[in-house]
A = this chain, B = another copy of it.
Amino acid sequence: MPTIKDVASRAGVAISTVSAVINRSAPVSEEVIQRVEEAIAAIGYLPHGAAKALRSGDSRLIGLILPDITNPFFSTVARVIETVCMRAGYMTFVYNTDEDIDHEMRILKMMRAQRVAGLVLISTRSDAEHGRRLMSEINVPTVLFSSSVPATPYDAVTLDEAMASRIAIEHLAALGHRRIGVLTGRPNVSTHEERLEACVETMRAHGIEPSGDLIVAANFDQAQAFGATKALLALPEPPSAIFAFSNLMMIGMMRAVVASGLSCPRDISLVGIGDFEWPEIMNPQMTVVSMPAAEMAERSIEILLAEIASKRAPTGRRTMFEPRLIIRESTAAPRLSLPA
């Protein structure tokens, strides 16, 4: 591959002059610019990214760490971030953690080895201990996405998680449901904790005493949600509605309802957090709490790029977005309401 040296000698100028015209970092005469650009085109020169990064100390690389790109929510996040980064002259590394904390740390290490200029991190845990580990492993501007980690100075972009639970439970309560099942995520994850707390609060506010039997952790996982839903449905007194904390768990619920020979919403109402791109092809069309994925992604990368550009310390601010309840077909009044 040709180097800047080849360009220089072909154009009959010094290496530093070529650099100046490429980066427009110093005044160069029109005539020399011409010659250099011709030389570049003629030999097909492309600056060597690693050499540039090494010398300038700026990798122009950004890392995105998320649970699973296969999840449509995360893939749209990735697309948005990639697009914005490219426009700003950054390339992106996208890596999957599979919600495995050790793997997350391993990926963080790889990113650090690449000297990424910044990180958007959808972390798998959000307790203080993990926060400390993160702090020791991360030495670049970082924004947390869809989770907030205490004891940590990073900016965060999240949903208003409490509101998400509240509008879902209120919808169900308004329909007349009293026995409401909840498929939650996993302890030490802020989305889990905050949504769960708001669920309980909202139920109590509506005179429903949350029952431990009906609130089950399903790890944000489709298969676990399937199993948990079947178990819930097999209870002597099954819930008349179930609320799930993720889009994948919603799918698990629906599969379980089908597999149990029941029908939604006739036998059971279903709501979840996270929308689907083509609701009309689903059976039934799901009532969901939808989150503005693209807007959130855009905001997070904007915050990150601003922090990188300004070289300012993070503010530790949390930017929240509002979820929206979309009522479709999967929720209805309970079939027969038992006397309270």
Residues of A within 8 A of B (CB): 1, 44, 46-51, 53-54, 59, 68-70, 72, 75-76, 78-79, 82, 86, 91-96, 109-110, 112-115, 136, 139, 222, 251, 254-255, 258, 278, 280-284
Contact = CB atoms under 8 A, between A and B. Distances in A.
A121 to B, nearest CB: 17
Contacts of A48: 54, 113, 115
Contacts of A91: 93, 110, 114
Given A91-B93, A93-B93, A113 B255 contact: no
B49 A114 contact: yes
Contacts of A112: 46
A253 to B, nearest CB: 10
Given A46-B113, A48-B54, A282-B283, A82 B96 contact: yes
A8 to B, nearest CB: 18
Nearest to A222: B278
Contacts of A222: 278
Contacts of A139: 1
A82 B70 contact: no
A95 B114 contact: no
Nearest to A285: B283
A146 to B, nearest CB: 17
Contact of A70 (B72, B95, B113, B281): B72
Contact of A283 (B49, B70, B281): B281
A158 to B, nearest CB: 22
Contacts of A75: 69-70, 75
A264 to B, nearest CB: 10
A273 B155 CA distance: 43
Contact of A50 (B53, B72, B78, B86): B53
Nearest to A255: B280
Contacts of A251: 278, 281
A281 B282 contact: yes
- Can you list the 9 inter-chain pairs with the closest CB atoms, starting with the nearest? A283-B283, A50-B53, A50-B50, A49-B114, A50-B54, A254-B281, A70-B75, A46-B113, A49-B113
20 contacts: A1-B139, A48-B113, A49-B113, A50-B51, A50-B53, A69-B69, A69-B75, A70-B76, A75-B75, A79-B96, A91-B93, A91-B110, A93-B93, A254-B280, A255-B280, A258-B281, A281-B282, A282-B282, A282-B283, A283-B283
A93 B95 CA distance: 10
B72 A79 contact: no
Contact of A82 (B1, B49, B95, B115): B95
Contacts of A278: 222, 251, 255
Nearest to A48: B115
B72 A78 contact: no
A94 B114 CA distance: 16
